[in-house]
Amino acid sequence: MLTDLFTPSVQYSLDIAGIFVFAISGALLAVRKNFDVFGMAVLASVTALGGGLFRDVMIGDLPPTAFTDLGYFVTPLVATVLVFFLHPEVERITRAVGVFDAAGLGLFCVAGTTKAYDYGLGLTSSAALGLATAVGGGVLRDVLANEIPSLLRWDRDLYAVPAMVGAVTTALLIRFDALDATTSALAATMAFTVRLLAMHFGWRAPRAWNRRSTATEEM
């Protein structure tokens, strides 16, 4: 199987690391929204696990891993506890959290694409589910927090595009039978790098051509 690119222990560690960082971002948004501890746990869990749950349901991998592995379930709760008690300190290292979030984005778009392909989907559909795996949790987080999803907003740095780069690169590697541990790491690194560059230089996706609306963007 393509998902057997890394040893089980390495793959598991990467998954847990990505889940933890995504959960941190969800819990921090809950703090900014003045949610209680239950709301923090919900946003942390949805952010960390939402994309993977969607992917697993779509490909028929049931029950989803998030419900069969205690580590996947507990990690967002650990992140919630950390943010609950130390959120001022965590807020101060938001830049570092953003870097780890970018790493999680790269890992999840590659893992999502390969798993979808393993379950019989075509390359295009696999890349689409790889993208959904990486950004789906963030979309659910923003919807629950009553915000326009970040990846739909022009005034936010590119987020979906880096995940698309990683997912499409992975699909192309599969197409040319070139996917292995090294090239999959390269695909994840490409997504990670594009996201970091977008954060550093403020890259944004273009809006409609000859846009004449005078409405101001919601900040």
Give the domain ranges of the chain.
Answer: 8-201
In order along its 219 residues, the chain shows pLDDT tens digits of 666 666 778 788 888 988 998 999 899 889 989 999 999 999 999 999 999 999 999 999 999 988 999 999 999 999 999 999 988 887 777 777 788 889 889 999 999 999 999 999 999 999 999 999 999 999 999 999 999 888 888 878 899 999 999 999 999 999 999 999 899 999 999 999 999 999 999 999 888 887 765 555 544
DSSP characters for the chain?
-TTTTS-HHHHHHHHHHHHHHHHHHHHHHHHHTT--HHHHHHHHHHHHHHHHHHHHHHHT--S-HHHH-HHHHHHHHHHHHHHHHHHHHHHHTHHHHHHHHHHHHHHHHHHHHHHHHHTT--HHHHHHHHHHHHHHHHHHHHHHTTS--GGG-TTS---HHHHHHHHHHHHHHHHTT--SHHHHHHHHHHHHHHHHHHHHHT------TT----PPPP-
Give the pLDDT of residue 219: 47
Give the pLDDT of residue 215: 54
Give the pLDDT of residue 3: 60
pTM: 0.88
Give the pLDDT of residue 7: 72
Give the pLDDT of residue 97: 78
